[in-house]
A and B are shown apart, each in its own frame.
Chain A
Amino acid sequence: MTNVNPLLIPLQNSIPSSPNSSCTSSPPESPISCSGGQSCFYTCETLANFSHFSKADSYQSAHHPASFRHEHSLLIPSCIESQPSSAANLTAGSKSRKKEDPDSRIVYINNPVRTNEKYEISGNRVCTSKYTVLSFLPRNLFEQFHRFAYIYFLLIVILNQVPALAVFGRTASLFPLMFVLVLTAIKDGYEDWGRHRSDREENMRTSLVLQEGHYKPKKWDQIQVGEMVKLLSNQIVPCDMVLLGSSDPSGVAYVETLNLDGESNLKSRYARQETADKHPESGPISGALICELPNRNIYEFTAYMDLNGVQLPVGPNNIILRGCEVKNTAWVVGVVAYAGRETKAMLNSSGAQSKRSRLEQYMNRETGWLIVFLIVICLVGGFGTALWVQTHLQWLPIIQFYKLTAGDDMFTGVVGEAITAFLSCIIIFQIMIPISLYISMEVVRLGQSYFMIRDMEMYHPASDTPFQCRALNINEDLGQVKYLFSDKTGTLTENKMEFHTASVDGIDYCDASVDPVAGNVEASNRLANLHQVEVGTEAWRPNVVAKLDPKLVRLLQSPLHTIGRKVAHEYMLVLAACNTIVPTRVKVSPTGQLEMQAANSDEDVGLLEYQGESPDEQALVSAAAAYGYSLVERTSSSIVLNVLGEIQRYQVLGIHEFDSIRKRMSVVVECPDRTIKLLVKGADTSVMDIVATTIAESPRSLKSAVNCDSLVEDKHHAEVVLRTLGHLDNYAREGLRTLVVASKELTQREVEEWRFHYAKASTALTDRVGMVRNTATLVENNLTLLGATGVEDKLQQGVPETIASLREAGIKVWILTGDKQETAISVGFSCSLLTRDMQQIVINENTRAGCQEAIINAKAMHGIMSTWKERRFSFGRHNNSLGGCSNHPLALIIDGNSLVHALSEELEQDLYELAIACRVVICCRVAPLQKAGIVSLVKRKSKEMTLAVGDGANDVSMIQMADVGVAISGQEGRQAVMASDFAFGQFRFLRQLLFVHGHWNYQRLGYMVLYNFYRNAVFVMVLFWFIFYTAFSPQTALTDCNLVFYSLLYTSIPTIVTGILDKDLSHRTLLNYPQLYGSGQREEAYNQTLFWATMLDMLWQSLVIFYVPFFIYNVSDIDLYSLGCLWVIAVVVLVNVNLAMDILHWNWVTHVAIWGSVIATFLGQIIMDSLSFSDDLLSHYWVVYHVAGDARSWLSLVLTVIIALAPRFCVKVVVQNIWPSDIQIAREAEIIGGRHDCRSEPSMELNEVALP
């Protein structure tokens, strides 16, 4: 009891001090109502102090007598009376408990009425749709107006409704708002209609529900919590159900969770043996299920079942979730725990998190400048008005165009006029703030992701995974990545594990060359026969292909008393039993590959398939099976093994599942010979610490030194430990993943103590994981080391090449892995991240002081390097003698223990400086949160774009932390994908994603933002110059329709099309010259300089557009709307020609968009000027025909465009020819190279070009 967790102590103390408990007499050890399975030893004490009720335990009840009374009445019946109706007796307490413990709910099995009367439990009707016909309008509007853009529009519209400010006609001012509102509403409505349809489809499905004693079909939306549901094979689970039984006597059911998490392998779920034995398929079971409140974690479930007073723990293995499909099981019966929107699947169906791209952040900064512009020009309007009114104030009543009469309520004095003018100016000049840009950007990103998803280069055929774009807001961030953080396993490597070497009892069996099928035919036949298992009348054979070491095979087939034979036996036992793998029987299908295999083997033999969530375990189990220890069956209470032809059943007393803190897994099993054993496998550091060593227990070994045998044994064991450590080192160096295997025979005392705590822990509703972990420490000590395993994880295809080109592109690649240092380094070498000429800085400290010293020392070296760098920078081309020693690139290798200290506030700056000075950084043995910590450090300090790529649940925090999170949708579940922004099948697709799509997205969007600023501002400025000629009154020469349509119709489509389709370089060129990626890192497509240059150009262009027609038509008889018409055409033609000048890739879509827009503008004028049915239209009736009939307008149009674009064109030409960018040169090479020989492969040409 020395190792008792402090958490448990108060509970134990409370037992004797619980005065009202009528169950104190029961000894803690005595099991009650045991119906088999693992949980036969629950007592009333454990019940009374069960964490679920902990708030009402005796300590607290002393202070709250009222609440205790309820507890009392609740507990006594369930302890004493073991009646089927025990659930009914829970009534009295239920209300108060509801108050006291809002963290759980009670589900009465097969009593939905009772279940639902007390809690607000949702029915099974799902309603993913947001709107109904009635609520659509108000709700959709409400949601839309959450966005800044719409509020801005709304403000403008409201401003315009003030009569004094009404610049637009009332209706025209509504257009922009209506346009976006209607467009968004149609989009939302369409999406919602689809959801309605799928909801209806879902709700109309039927399942068999126990009604009046028989299972009858019931519609899904009628199913209630607490009902018992029976599902047949291949049916979809209607709600989250706790399994009660299945067609398998042991209560196993197999489900496919494809709909839930995308994993297609079968998972096994168990009914508790206790319930399965009650034949739930034939009639109702009574009892209660006390479960936690609904939550979205699909990998966790904590509950317990109260079955006639017996408390059974229920965990994630006992529940099947909505959306899963029952497979390979004739029927299952379960009780509904959560229904409808409370199911985990529904709770998880929320959209992706939103990140904001860097470009957009910069864009917002520049939008701030535009707001300043807007205010300035509106102030000019306001002050100008004030000035003009002030100077003419005396004469206003007799000025014909003003005629101020005595009772004029429109005139509000000089100040009033100024304010009115200011506000009116805001209305006219509103599109200075490019609200439409935000909408266009969304459309453009949607288009860009469409192309990313459709890219065949990023489709992985082997796993049939296309590219997934989960975030829609950060496409362009892909073009600016500076730091790449990569996980190792599954990301750089394939995560297809292969058992490679075994170290058993200090002997290395690494000669695994014999293929059981192809090699020694006789041996393989013998093995195959051994592995055949009779289950009923059918024969099953493991479907295993693994390489075997003949020495180990021989050892295993030798008699039991042979030296090492026992250790080898236990070693194999651990491999086969200590895991979460589910053997699945696979029938021989009449088609496909399997037929061939079936023909080779006995025709009656089916295959056993090992399915599980961890590829490492799959590899180990397969290996064990290949050596003759095959796992045949696994239920929650027992494991059936075929040990060299003999079927053995092991009772499972408890499982301590793998967790990232303990880094090991153990099972407690009762062997066929009634001994109870603890089988452990885990990471070497974690297991080696708890292996019994003579050194660690010297006092005991001294005492027992008399015992010669034990001394010898201890000595032998110490030797084994040393040798195994050596083997582990070797394995790691070869890049293998290592695990240590150990076991221990438990004494009766240990077992009993452990059982007591384990029972408590495993029925706990809160912190069950923590309690189980603490329980595990009770037994996980003084282990006997059996050996170690080495599993190979092959590098993925194209990884070294990809890393090389990523680095060529100036991206710093860091590896953050949970693997051992040696493994990490060897993978670093094999994927060409590390090279021999690198100077390795290894930091491997356990203390803060040591860590600090190591970093400072390393920084001393770095210090030399940085001064050397500075000197080279300041003295230009002078050679520097100091530089000699630091010519070697540095590589930093740091482990998790050091990072604990290094990531602290005092040291992180030093760590950061050291790390960025190194060319390569490898962090090994890091915990998931540390990964995020490192990413966060670099992100904060460097302000550069970071990208994290990983595949497992341990990468989730890192993926979420980084600016861009990329997931490899591999074999380790879907958590990483769920957390990611982008996901694909292979690491090597990063090249295509970053160099090609990232580059394009960034270039396209950067240009698009600048262009949109320009196109709106140039229009506004043309309007602005006009008010200098209207006595500063906020009047425009343009018609309302033109004002509104300009940014919505005349010029929006081309920018969107360009934003989606323009291409500066072909993907071949981009992949051939990774350095071209640097343009995004240097922010060449969008920066402040470009913004101000664009604004200058905009100013010039607006002056030209305004003044060319002005000078041509000044002192002429031109009317307001004719000049306005000319201006609008000039602006549209100009901005489109400007865009045309910058487009680099003209395909038919671009042509249609640009020239179509120009034509649409003319058409728009013609249509609007031909209509005469309203006041607004009459004012400019027939104007365009007059304009078009005048040669001057055409000449001024041409003149305007040429003069306005001349500076831009000249600058562009000069820059391109004299200071060409890399992109420009590559583009020239691409086009000219392409022209030389169109028919031959252009890539060849480019490769040649690339060679020098």
Chain B
Amino acid sequence: MNGASTSETGVVTGSPVKKESRRPKYTKFTQQELPACKPLLTPGWVISIFLIVGIIFIPIGVVSLLASSKVVQIVYRYDQTCLPATARTTKDAQLSYIQNPGTDKNCPVTLTVPKQMKSPVYVYYELDHFYQNHRRYVKSVSSAQLQDNSSSSLSDCKPEDYVNGLPITPCGLIAWSLFNDTFNFSTVSNAPVHVNRNGIAWKSDVQKKFGSNVFPNNFPNNNLTNPSGIGGASLNSSLPLDQDEDLIVWMRTAALPNFRKLWGKIEQDFQPGDTINVGIVNQYNTYSFEGKKKLVLSTTSWLGGKNIFMGVAYLTIGVLCIVLALVFLLIHLRHPRPLGDPSYLSWNRKNSHGTDNLRS
């Protein structure tokens, strides 16, 4: 082309100039012609997608429901039942009961096993309306201090950072508010049920987050004697933090205000009708925010605890997909549209209308 144009106009400059052509180089990439897959949602594809989803989801739903139904759990709410009748009536009464260090907080409870529970049976305490995810609470901790007591600033830990000018270890609201109800399990025959309190925390937490040479120091172990007397356990100042698994579990803050925390594992089976005596010491104050307290004994499945939501959801979606597959099949049969038929293009349709118009 270049040669043609020069001969046509006869424009030639004196010296032969080798100009680099600015012609873009051809590659599939620059011309946007890379080999590509162009998915097209044909009715066949749509129906098969729905069918496949349905076929996969229904069995998952069934299996989930089965797993959930196999889980046996005993849930016992004790925040009200463990109050003496006089203390149940008003919030003030509840508070004065729980805040008074002199009152008897012991509360014996008997649980009956409805179904066979196979070892291990997990013991949880469950709190409601307890906002462990409150911002003020979540950030009131010093990870560095927990790990190796190295933190220089405890400002995040307010208002539990210093006592009498001395740093508190572990500092912060989370540690300070450690749950302190205790449970003592025994069978009818008063034979003690062994509850394994070890191995309830995440291994990673024990190994990395809580130091083996960090010991509680200046920790306000005075909740019961304090006039305001709100809950919070005492810490054994000779026990390094990484061995206090209750604390470690507690400090992995719950995601939602209604949560369970693992308290221990009972490594024995229970038969239906068995009764378990639990000696609850009810001293954690949840009455100020109407928080429920529950004791939970539960077996587990591959899906965790008892929860039918997953199974129901999978089943519903699976069935819905099958139905939708059928609906689309019907639509396709009733209104078949040849794919890529140009007569459906808007301007072609308009034209046909126009001609109809003239004919009529």
Contact = CB atoms under 8 A, between A and B. Distances in A.
Nearest to A1143: B39
Interface string A836-880: 000000000000000000000000000000000000000001010
A594 interface: yes
A25 interface: no
Nearest to A456: B24
A461 B34 contact: no
Interface in A1018-1062: 1029-1031, 1033-1035, 1037, 1061
A881 interface: no
A403 interface: yes
Chain A to chain B: the 6 pairs with minimum beta-carbon distance, closest first: A1229-B340, A1182-B204, A1228-B340, A400-B177, A454-B30, A1123-B255
B310 A1195 contact: yes
Contact of A1178 (B4, B208, B344): B208
A1212 interface: yes
Nearest to B159: A405
B165 interface: no
B40 A589 contact: no
A518 interface: no
Interface string B266-309: 00000000000000000001001100000000000011110101
Contacts of B189: none
A961 B236 CA distance: 81
B133, B262, B305: residue with the most chain A Cβ atoms closer than 10 Å: B133
Given A400-B130, A1225-B341, A1112 B309 contact: yes
Contacts of B305: 1116
Contact of B131 (A398, A456, A1031, A1067): A1031
Interface of B: 1-7, 9-16, 19, 21-26, 30-32, 34-41, 43, 46, 53, 57, 60, 64, 95, 99, 124, 126, 130-138, 142-144, 146-147, 158-160, 173, 176-177, 202, 204-205, 208-209, 228, 230-232, 252-262, 285, 288-289, 302-305, 307, 309-310, 313-314, 317, 320, 324, 328, 331-332, 335, 337, 339-348, 353, 356-358, 360
Contacts of A1232: 40, 339-340
A1075 B305 CA distance: 60
Contacts of B131: 401, 1030-1031, 1033
Given A1110-B256, A1182-B208, A1228-B40, A461 B2 contact: yes
A903 B332 CA distance: 56
A1190 B305 CA distance: 12
Given A455-B24, A1250-B342, A1119 B143 contact: no
B18 to A, nearest CB: 11
Contact of B260 (A403, A1108, A1115): A1115
A82 interface: no
B340 A461 contact: no
A811 interface: no
A1122 interface: yes
Interface in A1126-1170: 1143-1150
A1195 B60 CA distance: 9
Contact of B228 (A397, A545, A1122, A1195): A397
A1029 B133 contact: yes
B75 to A, nearest CB: 9
Contact of B255 (A465, A609, A1122): A1122
B14 A589 contact: yes
Interface string A784-800: 00000000000000000
A882 interface: no
B230 A398 contact: yes
A1227 interface: yes
B259 A1115 contact: yes
A483 to B, nearest CB: 20
A496 B5 CA distance: 12
Contact of A1175 (B14, B34, B142): B142
Contacts of A1119: 252-255
Given A403-B173, A597-B10, A1117-B261, 10 more contacts: A402-B137, A589-B15, A1031-B134, A1033-B134, A1075-B346, A1112-B309, A1147-B35, A1182-B205, A1195-B314, A1212-B41
A457 to B, nearest CB: 8
A399 interface: yes
A150 interface: no
A1119 B16 CA distance: 78
Contacts of B6: 592-593
Given A1182-B208, A1231-B40, A1029 B257 contact: yes
Nearest to A166: B139
Contacts of A587: 14
Interface of A: 167, 328, 392, 395, 397-405, 408, 410, 424, 450-451, 453-456, 459, 461-466, 496, 543, 545, 586-587, 589, 591-594, 597, 609, 877, 879, 1029-1031, 1033-1035, 1037, 1061, 1063, 1067, 1073, 1075, 1078, 1108, 1110-1120, 1122-1124, 1143-1150, 1172, 1175, 1178-1179, 1181-1182, 1185-1186, 1190-1192, 1195-1196, 1199, 1202-1203, 1206, 1210, 1212-1214, 1216-1218, 1220, 1222, 1225-1233, 1249-1250, 1252
B202 A1182 contact: yes
A1067 B31 CA distance: 10
Contact of A1146 (B7, B39, B252, B256): B39
Nearest to A1216: B41
A1110 to B, nearest CB: 7
A710 to B, nearest CB: 47
Contacts of A464: 2, 19, 21-23
A1115 B303 CA distance: 14
B43 A400 contact: no
A466 B23 contact: yes
Nearest to A1034: B135
A403 B159 contact: yes
Given A879-B358, A1213-B328, A395 B288 contact: yes
Contact of A1029 (B12, B35, B256): B256
A1233 B338 CA distance: 12
A1249 B34 contact: no
A463 B134 CA distance: 70
Contacts of B256: 1029, 1110, 1113-1115, 1118, 1123
B22 A401 contact: no
A194 B101 CA distance: 78
A403 B160 contact: yes
B227 to A, nearest CB: 11
A400 B231 contact: yes
Contacts of A1118: 254-256, 259
A1144 B158 CA distance: 55
B23 A456 contact: yes
8 contacts: A461-B2, A496-B9, A1033-B134, A1117-B260, A1119-B254, A1146-B38, A1217-B335, A1222-B347
A593 B10 contact: yes
A841 to B, nearest CB: 25
A327 to B, nearest CB: 9
Contacts of B285: 398, 400
A1035 B133 contact: yes
Given A1147-B36, A1182-B202, A408 B253 contact: no
Nearest to B358: A879
A1138 B27 CA distance: 30
B32 A1220 contact: no
Nearest to B312: A1111
B331 A1217 contact: yes
A121 B258 CA distance: 77
Contacts of B46: 1213, 1217
A589 B331 contact: no
A1075 B342 CA distance: 12
Contacts of A1150: 36
Contacts of B289: 392, 395, 399
B347 A1063 contact: no
B208 A1181 contact: yes
A202 B150 CA distance: 59
